[in-house]
Chains A and B, each alone.
Chain A
Amino acid sequence: MERSGTSTPLADAVQGLTLELVSALRSGGPFRLAGSVTGADGPDTTDGPGLAAVRVVGADAVLPSVLRRTSPDPDDLAVFSRAVHAYPPAENASPASVWSHWAMQRTLLRLGASFDGTSRHEAEPRATWLDDAPWQSLTHQLAVLAPLATPGADCAVARVARGRPVDVARGFVRAVRRRDWLQAAGAGRWLVLLDGVPETLGLLTGLEFVAQMGGDDPRVALQVEAARLMRAGVLV
């Protein structure tokens, strides 16, 4: 990601966390969320940019554990849990924001985070706003909600995606044509999980192309790496 003159501590923290995630996914090496956040906020801060960055990155902040099906370190889980509780969605939050938070809660529970006794999983939000969405905005929304695209994850958003593989594939084409690499990478991540994607799409080379053109942005690289690993997992 290009650093602009207007970068903020939060943007820097998001970029730093994302880069660490990409590196961990690529190398298969260790990833310590607690280390990343402490590095940004200092040891005792509870609401610094590092923690806010975890909320921005969402459920992907623990993606290495999710994809490797391993338990994160308790310190990492504690940090993740703190971000979930510190940044609940506002009353009038967008559906994407509500879903993103819900995804974090679900991930927290899946990773066994009842340790603090306060985790209470909110009911699954509704996905009705996606049901009638044209394929263009459907793909855009799904790309925003790419952290929901994980193996075996079932939720209303994933069910909508599963029902519209051709529409998401069209959205991928549209995003690539528009040079919107982040949207293309997010859509591609969903597509590796869907049945019924037209063979002619050339999804794998398409993802390579997205990485080649947009991979300097760690957010793009993260989605492409996630897609690549999930694809490899599916093939095993």
Chain B
Amino acid sequence: MTDTRLIHTVGTGALEWLHAHRAGFRLEEDVDPEVGFLERFKPVGELAVICKVLFREGVAGSRQTQLARQLLDHAWAHTLDGGRMLVHGQRLEPFSPVPFEVYLPFKELGYSHPGIEQTFRFNHRLESYAAHELSPVRRLGLSAFQRRFGLPPQPPESEVVGRTWLGRTPEPWTVEGHLAYDITHTVFHLTDWGEEPGGLPTPLADYLATWLPAWLDDWLDLRRWDLLGELLAVDACLPRPTLDERAWEGLAAAQQPDGAVPAVRTMPDDEDPDELFDLVYHPTLVAAFASTLATSRALTRLTHAPA
């Protein structure tokens, strides 16, 4: 079994890096309209989701908890300007689901902006919103977020899951990179990011228990750390996580002394701090997420182990 300390250390290092580079969570108001103002909201939303997991699992030390809280305060107060940037973004693209997706985890963590909630509620009454042609996994995520916000999920998650790639349990040897991300996100949405492992229907949990080891092996060999981190998080969402030793050791070895995790192979040699942040923040955030979940599962296993 993998050393729990090793798993935990990956997360503490990642959080230190994210905190030290929190200025990278930034919006660009004069962005090229072709790119879109909402493009830079994604990292902020992901940060909130992961910090929520960190608070929830209760395996973070006091320093980690403090860093996470400061990161969230920074993202809410500075990056999102207390929610005003979400309002601004929603005015630029009134029917985009992105502001809603970014807002929800903040709301669950105690940050709120009542004005924008009214816009969300309006959008969710639109037929256009339900008809929006999203990929099934994205639709599943939106339905999950609607449920968590207290709105009726349209359509219900149980209707969407069968349309996702994972929901059809296809031939495991056809999985390529983009499909693998669809798989990981289907699991995250169904389990509320690891909170409810029971949310994963048994046939899907069995399917993943069977084939995840093959995918972990593959993406470890390819040194695709971002995807490997997500797959390790999926492992920790399963009823019986394997906490795959080789994969965790590989991810830990790829992590830099300052806590950054490269997305693929080795660290990019970009000297522009913003560009470096954009290349590295996601795998580092994913490492913090996977580490928190896996540490929690390892400790649970210890408490349930025979004396």
Contact = CB atoms under 8 A, between A and B. Distances in A.
B214 A173 contact: yes
Interface in B176-226: 207, 210-211, 213-215, 217-218, 221
Contact of A173 (B169, B172, B207, B221): B172
Contacts, number: 45
Contact of B211 (A173, A205, A206, A209): A173
Given A172-B173, A176-B173, A200 B213 contact: no
Given A170-B211, A200-B207, A200-B211, A136 B173 contact: no
Interface of A is mostly: helix
Contacts of B175: 177
Contacts of A205: 171
Q: How large is the interface on A (under 10, 10 to 19, 20 to 34, 35 or more residues)?
A: 10 to 19
A201 B172 contact: yes
Interface string A194-221: 0000101110011001000000000000
B218 A174 contact: yes
Interface string A174-197: 101110000000000000000000
Nearest to A206: B173
Interface string A153-173: 000000000000010011111
Interface residues of B, number: 15
Contact of B173 (A135, A166, A177): A177
Q: Which of B173, B175, B214, B218 has the most CB of A within 10 A?
A: B173
Interface of A: 135-136, 166, 169-174, 176-178, 198, 200-202, 205-206, 209
B294 to A, nearest CB: 21
A174 B217 contact: yes
Contacts of B210: 166, 169-170, 198, 200
A178 B207 contact: no
Q: Which of B169, B172, B221 has the most CB of A within 10 A?
A: B172
B170 interface: yes
A75 B183 CA distance: 57
